[in-house]
Structure formats: structure tokens, C-alpha cells
Amino acid sequence: MDLKTFNFPDLDDDRAVRKAIAELLEEAKERKFYDGNTEYNDLFNKLFFSGGEIEFQKKVDEDFKAKAWTFCRAVMGSWDPKHEHKEAVCALLMSELLVAKKRKKLW
């Protein structure tokens, strides 16, 4: 799936939002963001639980950035999807939008 062409729904349409989350969740599973151990899963959890600063990738199209980030923020703040689903969908979107800091090796 090319997320840059994904039709992000109007956030007032609950049914369309749930359908979009389900579609994005399937893609997130394929890309290993569900139960993932990626820097984007880490970034989601840091932002979700503690807040923080973000940095957008320089190459991101402005229209895609606006639509995808608005949707991502709405998913993060919603009560409906399970946390694991939120994490996977948002990590997927963040991987296309944000710069994630590389993990430090412990040894």
C-alpha cells in the first residue's frame, strides 16, 4: 500500500475512521509494526506516555503530511482502538512522516 495515496477519511465520519484504521492496521502488521520492536513503536510510546518533540522528514509532501499527521494525532487521542492497534497504525504513519532517533546499543 502506498500511504501517500491513501484516502484519509473525514474525522467526523466514525464509520469511515474505523474502516481506515482497520485497513492501516493490516498494512502495519505486514510491515511488522504490530507488536513491533522498531524505533517508530518506541517513538509512539514516548509521545503517547510522555510527550516530546517531533521532527518531520524533509522529503514529505505537505498535503500528505497534513492529512496523515492529523489522522495519526486523532488515532493517538481516541478511546476506541485498543492501545496495540493505535501503536501499530501510528508507528506505520510515523515511519512515513517523522525522523526517529536511532536506538543506543547497550553493549
Q: Average the pLDDT over 71-89 and give the result.
A: 95
DSSP labels for the chain? --GGG--PPPTT-HHHHHHHHHHHHHHHHHTT-TT--SHHHHHHHHHHHH-----B-TT--HHHHHHHHHHHHHHHH-SSS-HHHHHHHHHHHHHHHB--PPPPP--
Whole-model pTM: value is 0.91
The helices-and-strands tally (H runs, E runs) of the chain is 4, 0
Other beta carbons within 10 angstroms of residue 96's beta carbon come to 17
Tens digits of residue pLDDT in 34-67: 998 999 999 999 999 999 999 999 999 999 999 9
Rounded distance between C-alpha atoms, residue 45 and residue 51, angstroms: 9
For the chain, what is the mean pLDDT? 93
